[in-house]
């Protein structure tokens, strides 16, 4: 309990932060914190008493125990600073190893305007020089139109999409045909790599310079309020999170092959899929519609891009 009490003081936290960077004497600390020598000395005494700092000649430095405490304290600082956000958004979907290191995001800037967050997505696509990685179940049209432009500049892309939300961009009428060809060519050369997950529990965009991160709300949906991250600790956290999901995702080819093998064992499902593709009224097999949607083969009353590819395979 003494530890939490001593760390409840912002001046003592600031002293720990300063000593983590450099060992300092009493006078330098008081000047840096704009405190009197007497106040600084009192804080130093309390931190020394619980083993967070040590004195070496006339200078104080943080102990290894103090560094460990400070590192774990960042998680509480981050969560406390954004308590309203985390009252309505869930970390339950986040792998435990990333929850433990959530403090790495402490210097990220919160953005509560979903429109501005999407504006930052567009800016990332516009300014990226090397790569863009995305983990998302949705694209807005403005961002989708900027993907071919980024590819044309030589930017490499790795995208993780939701199986039932996968888009090949061709159904977006706002995308010019020549831009679509850029996307198709990038797929062939490997400049654009894509994988699928049954569920996408994060909204994550990463470039060489920054990352955008949003967590799902408590009902599992996204309101696209989240965080803009530019410091190296946060970027490393975001990159590792993306790699975690990339390793577990499947390529589009594998997903389509598995769905094709699944549907060829279900004669009635094939019939329903063909009727959806041709716009024929479904009289028998209505109970299979929800299963086709769950598999990502259809959305609303039409086939998804993946559903169309499976349908074409059935036509051969």
Check residue 174 and give its pLDDT. Answer: 64
Residues of the chain falling short of pLDDT 70: 1, 165-174
Check residue 165 and give its pLDDT. Answer: 67
Is there a contact between 180 and 170 (Cβ–Cβ < 8 Å)?
Answer: yes
Set out the domains of the chain in order of their start, with CATH numbers.
Answer: 2-73 (1.10.10.10), 89-248 (3.30.870.10), 253-315 (no CATH)
25 φ, ψ to 5°? -90, 175
Check residue 16 and give its pLDDT. Answer: 87
Check residue 9 and give its pLDDT. Answer: 81
Between CA 264 and CA 271, with CA 269 as vertex, the angle to 5 degrees is 95
d(CA 136, CA 249) in angstroms, rounded, equals 13
pTM of the model: 0.78
CB-based contacts of 265-272 (< 8 A; 24+ apart in sequence): 270/314
Check residue 68 and give its pLDDT. Answer: 84
* Contacts of 205 by beta carbon, 8 Å cutoff, 6+ apart: 121, 124, 132, 133, 134, 135, 136, 211, 212
d(CA 250, CA 240) in angstroms, rounded, equals 18
Check residue 166 and give its pLDDT. Answer: 67
Rounded to the nearest 10°, the torsion over CA 203, 205, 210, 214 is -10
Check residue 217 and give its pLDDT. Answer: 93
pLDDT tens digits for range 152-182: 999 999 999 888 766 655 555 567 788 888 9
Query: Which candidate, 112, 104, 125, places its Cα nearest to that of 239?
Result: 104
Check residue 155 and give its pLDDT. Answer: 97
């Amino acid at each position: 309990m003494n530890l939490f009490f001593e760390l409840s003081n912002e001046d003592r936290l600031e002293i720990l932060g300063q000593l983590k960077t450099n060992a300092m004497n009493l006078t330098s600390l008081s000047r840096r914190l704009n405190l009197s020598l007497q106040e600084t000395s009192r804080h130093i005494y309390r931190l020394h008493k619980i083993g967070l700092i040590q004195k070496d000649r006339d200078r104080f430095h943080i102990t290894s125990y103090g560094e460990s405490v400070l590192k774990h304290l960042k998680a509480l600082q981050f969560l406390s600073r954004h308590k309203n956000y985390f009252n309505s958004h869930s970390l339950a979907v986040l792998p435990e190893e990333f929850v433990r290191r959530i403090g790495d995001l402490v210097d990220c800037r919160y953005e509560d305007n979903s429109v501005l967050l999407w504006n930052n997505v567009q800016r990332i696509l516009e300014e990226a020089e090397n790569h863009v990685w995305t983990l998302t179940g949705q694209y807005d049209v403005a961002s989708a139109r900027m993907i071919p432009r980024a590819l044309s500049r030589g930017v490499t892309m790795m995208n993780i999409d939701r199986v039932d939300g996968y888009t090949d961009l061709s159904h977006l009428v706002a995308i010019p045909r020549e831009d679509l060809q850029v996307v198709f060519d990038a797929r062939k050369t490997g400049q654009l790599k894509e994988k699928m997950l049954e569920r996408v529990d994060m909204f994550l965009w990463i470039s060489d310079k920054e990352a955008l991160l949003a967590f799902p709300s408590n009902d599992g949906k996204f309101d696209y309020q989240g965080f803009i991250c530019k410091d190296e600790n946060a970027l490393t956290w975001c990159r590792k999170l993306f790699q975690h999901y990339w390793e577990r995702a499947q390529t589009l080819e594998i997903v389509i092959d598995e769905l094709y093998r699944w549907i060829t064992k279900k004669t009635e499902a094939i019939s329903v899929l063909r009727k959806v593709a041709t716009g024929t009224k479904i009289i028998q097999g209505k109970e299979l519609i929800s299963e086709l949607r769950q598999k990502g083969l259809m959305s609303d009353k039409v086939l998804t891009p993946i559903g169309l590819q499976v349908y074409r395979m059935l036509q051969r």
